[in-house]
Amino acid sequence: MRLIFMGTPAIAVPALAALVDAGHDLAAVFTQPDRPVGRKQTLRPPDVKVAAERLGIPVHQPSKVRTEETRDLVESFAPDAAVVFAYGRILPQTLLDIPKRGCINVHTSLLPKYRGAAPIQWAIAEGETETGVTTMLMDAGLDTGPMLLRRSTPIGPAETAIEVSERLALVGAQLIVETLSRLDEIVPEAQDDSLATLAPILTRDHGRIDWTARATTIANRCRGFQPWPGTWTTLDGARLHIWSCEALPADMAATSAPAGTVIEAGRDRLVVSCGGGTRLRALELQLEGKRRMSVRDFQNGIRLEFGHRLGAAEAR
């Protein structure tokens, strides 16, 4: 099948490679423009661009998709279908109408749950124990088109969004190849909008810890919001990231202490009171301007004391 592929981050790379290995004719790859990164603002190409160039596929990086120029460019390839995997742009109807067999999206959730830009992160943050990949025919809505195939996978109790993303990249690659091979026999299934949930794009403030929440909620967000925005609080006005933690059950000390209070502060143990008398044990932390470190290293240097209150001041 003659395809164009539209994707940007690393999670989409295995699908691109799998389509080539399956013998499809990849006429072109569309991806986001190179972006400046780091203190020196060095331009960095998207992972999909790097992979496409390695595979010898022409790459296009339009800054806007809602233009006649982009529409004419897509149309010039006369694609049978377009495969879209984490492209990062909402396609207008004028583009969706071009491929003969439609635009097929590889979405990393079990639709209709977690429609939107960050489905993996929100599924973990909300405490889900299962996620997966859905292939769907795209329409002009936000992940609202009819579903083609779905494949589920469990979320481990300690897995982060980074780990789950790596697995779903491979699941997505397998599923899009299967979807295209069975396209003539698959009966598209309409989504039940009443079951839909949203997974909005993440902002830095999503990572701010609300210590009045239960410890399990905070721990799930810690796993889900990696590598960005992470989960963070404040320590004497400075931003303090908690990169790894575990929820502990309630006890009397935590129930009596205000949320966000350090109730255990040993050499290898740092425990903070949370909502409902639950407790959060921090395992890996990073104070702004410092390196990421274990609790032992943190306590050997910066050191938090019993009774210290976290989140009591705004971060600078």
Over the chain, what HEC string results? Answer: CEEEEEECCHHHHHHHHHHHHCCCEEEEEECCCCEEECCCCEEECCHHHHHHHHHCCCEECCCCCCCHHHHHHHHHCCCCEEEEECCCCCCCHHHHCCCCCCEEEEECCCCCCCECCCHHHHHHHCCCCEEEEEEEECCCCCCCCCEEEEEEEECCCCCCHHHHHHHHHHHHHHHHHHHHHCCCCCCCECCCHHHCCECCCCCHHHHECCCCCCHHHHHHHHHHCCCCCCEEEEECCEEEEEEEEEEECCCHHHHHCCCCEEEEECCCCEEEECHHHCEEEEEEEEECCCCCEEHHHHHHHCCCCCCCECCCCCCC
| pLDDT (0 to 100) of residue 302 | 87
In terms of C-beta density within 10 A (0-12 exposed, 13-18 middle, 19 or more buried), how is residue 84 classed?
A: buried
Residue 5 near residue 25, CB atoms below 8 Å: no
Phi, then psi, of 133 in degrees rounded to 5:
-130, 140
Does the domain spanning 204-301 belong to CATH 3.10.25.10? Answer: yes
Determine the pLDDT at residue 287.
96
CATH 3.40.50.170 residue ranges of the chain are 2-195
| CATH 3.10.25.10, the chain: domain bounds | 204-301
In words, the CATH class of domain 2-195 is alpha beta
**Mean pLDDT (10-residue bins), the chain, 316 residues:** 98 98 98 91 96 98 96 98 97 97 98 98 98 97 97 98 98 98 98 98 98 97 97 95 95 82 94 94 96 96 92 59
Confidence (pLDDT) at 66 = 95
pLDDT at 164: 98
